[in-house]
Structure 1
Amino acid sequence: MSKKLEVTIPAKYPLAATLTLPDSNLEKYPAIIMVHGSGEIDRDSNAKGLPINAFKELSDLVVEQGFATLRYDKRGVGASKGDYYEAGAYDLIDDAEAAVTFAKNHPNIDSEKVILLGHSEGGIIAPIVNDRNPVSGMILLASIAEPLAKTMEWQREQMYKEIKSLKGFQGWLLRFINLEKKIKKMNDDLIRVVSETDEPVVRYKGKKINAKWNRESAEVDVSTSLKNVKCPVLAITGSKDVNVKVDDLQKIKELVQGECEIHVISDMTHMLRKTDLEFSMSKILNNTKKIIKAPVDQELKDIITNWLADWKSNEVKKAEMIIN
């Protein structure tokens, strides 16, 4: 059985985490640090009402391959200190960097064999952290290769296209009430409210908004950091991921300097599960809670397992070359 240690990552606000070590007698292990997507997400990648549990499943998977894993509750979530709503994009990057520093300094982790695994927003954070504290490998799940603001604009355009193409009474009704115009106005209003203040948190239509995160996320361009990535990279996106562009996989491969293996998994969504639904933003998003009842996709797990086996083999070869 693996050994699970409850640890605290020293950061601006201490981050509660689980360090899982394989069941073996090695003194040091290669490690995988898992970086969350957006939202109030804990170390297992669960949010209130949305138990994705992807990091727990993936941790169990890779620990069996001899990797240690480090999973932490996001700032202000679970047992971690701080305020989630006051955290900006750069704060989340700082926290992920603190996790890398903690792992590299831990007596049971080989500091030269640390991999960052990022899902969604975590795939933006991982390359930026690598700029500050280089890692030995990177796994990017459902990630992007452009500014987040540009991807969010693409998401809205997909939504507008769907509204225009919807048939029957529902389609007529949405067009009659001019839903597209209402969505555009609401988005413009929210951007204005967020940009006109320096406060970390604002209220918009009675809802708490993490304004600092919104402002800073608009500044971040992951493509700049992807150009600096020299370590091996595995990038995977599902063909039915309505949150990111599948074409960004090829862009990631072109941007990074290291070896990059990319995969498009047929029928997989942003939640890392497959669906039989057609590629429709509204249908897939509305069925998210049903989709996540299934385990994380087995094809995804197999690809990660095979890539990690190759990564370990290459690390052994590099060590032998140094010795010889």
Structure 2
Amino acid sequence: MTARFRTTGRLATAAALLAAVVSFQAGLLAPSPARAQLATPAAALCERQIAIKAPMPAPVDASGDLVGSFGFPCAAGADAVLPVVLMLAGSGPTDRDGNQPGLRTDLLRMLAEDLAARGIASLRVDKRGIGASRAAIADEALMTIDLLASDAAQWTRAARKLADGAPVIVLGHSEGGLIALLAARREAPDAIVLAATPGEPAIRTLERQLAQAPMPDDLRRTADRILADLGAGRKVADVPLELAPLFRPSVQPYLISWLGIDPATVMERFGGPVLILQGDRDLQVTTADARRLAAGRPKDTRIEILAGLNHVLKPAPADRAGNIAAYTAPGLRPDPRVAMLISAFAGTGAER
């Protein structure tokens, strides 16, 4: 999901740039939106809050817990032995429901409802620094993708306890897919679902989007230089105001930790089954990304290209404005094929 900024004059160029790039871990400590009131709430889902301890690496101390929602079919009850789908949100200040300030999609909550209707439990989590997990980090500059992967591994262990012997499937949406793959190195789930997950290193995507973004030549050259430095592991002090939303010093440690990781290479190391879900009207991640992920690991990998779906797996028109409007359209839910494929895949995981 893309960051949004109100700007005028030359700063509008940066806004256009940010609207074009794949979302990143900017605005990490921005306040999360209130829980959405769904237009058509699903009666199948009941839930209770879960909290776990996930300390920051020494010498940093953070006292806050990581917090999430354990969702289960009301008809089955919280103690039923059911497959559990751990959901990892995409980048930026995205909460357990799949929402950001000013961008309420309810993607993850709706998926939890749809899965509950099919007899599948779920665990939706607020990332460190977001929502009810806000107190688990005090400074954006301490965040790295490795820290998020470590947290996801902790949540996988929590999901194991909730599943009580049933399969645990980790679903990563967008950048959450890369975090799922990295977390599996520490704590392997039974299976992974990659939904709208980029298939190339983030630096390649950002290079392409910078080349396409409308901006003055001098600013483009500066952006290219900063990106190259960050890709080489070098922090940049002289960031122009126009580029600060993307490259500000406090977010640079995260960018450095993230830019060079190749999701396809990381995926090769996971031994369990993988389901790749990709909408063919996704404005941020392409079907080529999905195919690149699948090509590097053909064994135990299934790819599903879903016609007519956008980045948040909802039906959307081809035009950009209508596509983006579908993200937050009242009452518009993820396509039923998504929950159907995940629930069938959870059965596959049970056979392993």
Indicate the TM-score class for this superposition, using the shorter chain for normalisation.
Answer: 0.7 to 0.9
Alpha-carbon deviation of 1:275?
Answer: 3.0
2:68 maps to 1:17:
yes
Q: State how far apart, in whole Å, the 1-side matches of 2:91 and 2:70 are.
A: 22
2:102 maps to 1:49:
yes
Alpha-carbon deviation of 1:14?
Answer: 1.7
Match of 1:94 in 2: 150
Match of 1:28 in 2: 81
Q: State how far apart, in whole Å, the 1-side matches of 2:236 and 2:210 are.
A: 26
Of structures 1 and 2, the one with the larger relative CO (CA 8 A, separation 6+) is 2
- CA gap of 1:245–1:27, structure 2 versus 1, over 3 A, is closer
Which one has the bigger strand percentage? 1
AA of the residue aligned to 1:140: L
Match of 2:48 in 1: 5
Q: Deviations over 1:54-103 (max 9, x none)?
A: 00000001112222111111111111121472311111111111110111
- CA gap of 1:123–1:316, structure 2 versus 1, over 3 A, is closer
8 Å CA contact 2:207–2:224 kept in 1: the answer is no
Q: State how far apart, in whole Å, the 2-side matches of 1:45 and 1:191 are.
A: 31
Secondary structure, counterpart of 1:19 in structure 2? strand
Q: Deviations over 1:121-160 (max 9, x none)?
A: 0111111111221111211111122222122223334x25
Q: State how far apart, in whole Å, the 2-side matches of 1:309 and 1:238 are.
A: 18
Q: State how far apart, in whole Å, the 2-side matches of 1:97 and 1:130 are.
A: 7
AA of the residue aligned to 2:337: D
8 Å CA contact 2:84–2:166 kept in 1: the answer is no
**Residue 38 of structure 1 is aligned with which of 91, 98, 102?**
91
AA of the residue aligned to 2:108: F
Alpha-carbon deviation of 1:34?
Answer: 0.4
- CA gap of 1:144–1:236, structure 2 versus 1, over 3 A, is same
Q: What stretches of structure 2 of length at least 5 have no aligned partner?
A: 1-43, 56-63
TM-score (norm 1): 0.78
Q: CA RMSD in A?
A: 2.9
Secondary structure, counterpart of 2:182 in structure 1? helix
Alpha-carbon deviation of 1:266?
Answer: 2.7
Q: State how far apart, in whole Å, the 2-side matches of 1:31 and 1:306 are.
A: 15
Q: What stretches of structure 1 of length at least 5 have no aligned partner?
A: 164-177, 319-324
Q: State how far apart, in whole Å, the 2-side matches of 1:317 and 1:276 are.
A: 38
2:279 maps to 1:238:
yes
**How do residues 1-324 of structure 1 correspond to structure 2 at under 5 angstroms?**
1-12=44-55, 13-23=64-74, 24=76, 27-80=80-133, 81=135, 82-83=137-138, 85-86=140-141, 87-104=143-160, 106=161, 108-111=162-165, 113-157=167-211, 159-160=212-213, 179=216, 181-189=218-226, 192=229, 196-197=234-235, 205=241, 207=245, 209-256=250-297, 258-278=299-319, 283-284=320-321, 288-289=324-325, 291-293=327-329, 295-298=332-335, 301-309=336-344, 311-312=346-347, 314=348
Secondary structure, counterpart of 2:343 in structure 1? helix
Q: State how far apart, in whole Å, the 1-side matches of 2:217 and 2:110 are.
A: 39
- CA gap of 1:20–1:147, structure 2 versus 1, over 3 A, is same
- CA gap of 1:84–1:115, structure 2 versus 1, over 3 A, is farther
AA of the residue aligned to 2:103: L
Identity of aligned residues (%): 23
Q: State how far apart, in whole Å, the 2-side matches of 1:191 and 1:315 are.
A: 41
Secondary structure, counterpart of 1:16 in structure 2? strand
8 Å CA contact 1:235–1:261 kept in 2: the answer is yes
Q: State how far apart, in whole Å, the 1-side matches of 2:351 and 2:262 are.
A: 35
8 Å CA contact 2:281–2:311 kept in 1: the answer is yes
- CA gap of 1:84–1:33, structure 2 versus 1, over 3 A, is farther
Q: State how far apart, in whole Å, the 2-side matches of 1:127 and 1:111 are.
A: 22
Q: State how far apart, in whole Å, the 2-side matches of 1:190 and 1:307 are.
A: 36
Alpha-carbon deviation of 1:191?
Answer: 5.6
8 Å CA contact 1:155–1:243 kept in 2: the answer is no
Q: State how far apart, in whole Å, the 2-side matches of 1:203 and 1:190 are.
A: 11
8 Å CA contact 2:86–2:156 kept in 1: the answer is yes
- CA gap of 1:59–1:144, structure 2 versus 1, over 3 A, is same
TM-score (norm 2): 0.72
8 Å CA contact 1:155–1:242 kept in 2: the answer is no
8 Å CA contact 1:112–1:135 kept in 2: the answer is no
8 Å CA contact 1:271–1:292 kept in 2: the answer is no
| Larger of the two Rg values belongs to structure | 1
Which one has the bigger helix percentage? 1
Match of 1:174 in 2: none
